[in-house]
Amino acid sequence: MNTQHPLRWILLAAITGFGFNPMLCENGALEDAREKLRQLDGEGAKQALQQEEIDAPEIHLVRALAHYQVKEFKEATTSLDQVDRLIADAQSGGDKIAQQRLNDLLIRLAEGRGWVALGEERWEDAQVEWLKVLKAQPNDEDARWNYELAWHKSNPACTLREDDHEPDDTLKDAPEWTKEKAEKRLLCPGASDAYAIELPQGAIFTARVEAKLLDDQDEEAGRQLKLKLYRPSTSGLDEAVKEVSLDLAPNEAEGNLPSSGSLKVNLEQVTEAGRWVMWLEGFGRGEVEYSIVPEIDIPCPQGEDDLEPNDDVQSAKPLQGEEKANLKICPGNDDWHIVGVPEGEYRTLEVEFDIERDPFSVIVFDTKGQVVKALNSSEYEKGVMQVRLPDNGVAEKFEMPKPPEPKAPPQIEPQTGVPLNPQVSPLLTPPSQNSPMVPKPTPAQPTPSPAPTQPIPTPDLSKQVPPNPSLPNQAAGVPDGGDDEASTEEKKGPPTPYIVRVTATANPNQPIALGNRYKLKMSPPQESGDDDNKDQQDQQDQQDQQDQQNK
């Protein structure tokens, strides 16, 4: 029989009267309903029994089949419950029911519930019901078929559990890599999976696979995995640019082969832009669960983030909202940011980064250009640096610097005559093109923890913050207030700004610099645990100071 259409076979078995003879309840409406079912007319069978009020098990069984045929599984279950009720009432009330008829009704009830469970894809329940039929009728091949069908549906073969990535049998058919369809995938025996990815020329590319054999496999279910990389327009599977392999074996197998592991292929430079293909295959009978992750790196100084240019304090960008991800720091190309802390509050500045990438430093300045904290990523193994702003207490009221008032020109006595050699007034001399419009920061000599930094400028922010800076709370839509505000409380001033400098130095032993990817986040105080967090931060600050003094 065709296992691809199990419900079709079930319907045919039901409407041909399978299992319903002998029927001891003789009724004209019942016979009409049976005939309608044989003609695949479930609605007609329902109509034939619509006016039938006899409360008999056989009537409810046929009515359940009629509902089942039109996929009204809930109604079919209700009719089967009526059969169950009548049998229970008869047994508890001492009614005389012939043993043969009782056994037949119990079998027919199990069959009906088994059909409905299959129709609703409740495979475990279907196995229970069809097993009841098999215990009563061991030679019932149709019941055995339904039982095995339900078992295979609840324990599908590997190819049925992993079929939403097809087609991926050729390089040409490889679908685009997506995170959702590349995690916890199944590689079935004899199968291969392919993923396409667009790579820019000059990039550095890495493909990583984490794989493990599924549990509950026999000791011979090993697997030899191969991860291959193909350049654009490649047609033959024997033309891989890179290839690595990994042998896996169940824990119960003899030998020292692992049951899990990783594979990695790396291209130091992509020489051809276009659609590359990652290909995973393997010999053996083992079923493998795996995840595949591609990494694309653009060597510095290329691949800058969307906040550029922010290479000096004059071009520092305010943090919009509470966080900003996908930032990149390269050696010799500092990033400058502005973060704000509302009056009467404090914030925790978090810098998340990739611990496997190049180290870098974060230096935080206050409005006077003094160093609040200097952090080095190499000292944080978990990939997160934190600093409390302000370092203690809460932010005080910040007075926005006022622009300097223009000086009145000196009084000059008018000349009565025209000079022979007229001179341009020094007050009208245009500024030189080399003159800065804002004072430049002057170098300072802070002593942060060892970090690959350049000399740290000390910006005089009181002169450089504009009268109405775009600070985080303003960018997020915090109202300025106005005449319609009824509050009599003193209006809070703008957030206290802090300047964040992210900097890195080149590694002379590394010809190609990748820099690091990082994320800035300003976390508000939590409802609980603030004291614990502050104590941990104080302990970390004390440890940093002690380490600095010991050097």
CA distances for 204 relative to 287, 336, 353, 357, 534, angstroms = 32, 26, 19, 13, 41
Helix/strand/coil for 35: helix
Virtual torsion, Cα 351, 324, 319, 360, nearest 10 deg: 40
The answer for residues whose C-beta is within 8 angstroms of residue 180's C-beta and 6 or more apart is none
Residue 152, both tokens:
């295979």
Please list, residue by residue across 280-317, b when 16 or more beta carbons sit within 10 angstroms of its beta carbon and e when fewer do: bbbebebbbbbebebeebbbbeebbbebeebeebeebb
Phi first, then psi, for residue 110 (nearest 5°) are -65, -40
Contact 67, 44 (CB under 8 A): no
**CB 398 within 8 Å of CB 496:** yes
All structural domains of the chain with their residue ranges:
6-154, 161-297, 313-396+438-479+491-550
The class of domain 313-396+438-479+491-550 in CATH terms is: mainly beta
Q: What is the pLDDT of residues 181-231, one digit of tens each?
A: 888 888 888 888 999 999 988 888 999 999 999 887 877 888 999 999 999
pLDDT for 11 equals: 40
Q: What is the pLDDT of residue 335?
A: 92
Distance CA 243, CA 227 (A): 6
Report which residue type is found at 377.
S
Q: Using alpha carbons, select from 216, 196, 197, 229 the residue that is nearest to residue 289.
A: 216
Residue ranges of the chain with per-residue pLDDT less than 50:
1-24, 417-456, 458, 460-483, 485-486, 488-489, 528-531
Q: Report whether 130 contacts 143 (CB < 8 A).
A: yes
Architecture of 6-154 per CATH? Alpha Horseshoe (1.25)
Q: Do 161-297 and 313-396+438-479+491-550 show the same overall fold?
A: yes
The pLDDT value recorded for residue 450 is 42
What pLDDT is stored for residue 412 in this prediction? Answer: 61
Give the type of residue at 524. Answer: P
26 HSE (CA, 13 A, CB side)? 0
CB atoms within 10 A of CB 89: 11
Q: What is the pLDDT of residue 541?
A: 56
Query: How far apart (Å, rounded) are the C-alpha atoms in residues 356 and 383?
Result: 9
CA distance 122 to 129: 11
Quick check: helix, strand or coil at residue 473? helix
Q: Do residues 65 and 13 lie in contact, with contact meaning Cβ atoms separated by under 8 Å?
A: no
Predicted TM-score (pTM) of the model is 0.49
pLDDT for the residue 502: 93
Q: 307 near 335, Cβ under 8 Å?
A: yes
The predicted pLDDT at position 542 comes to 59
CATH number of 161-297: 2.60.120.680
Q: What is the pLDDT at residue 303?
A: 73
Tell me what pLDDT residue 275 has.
93
**What SS3 state is found at 387?**
strand
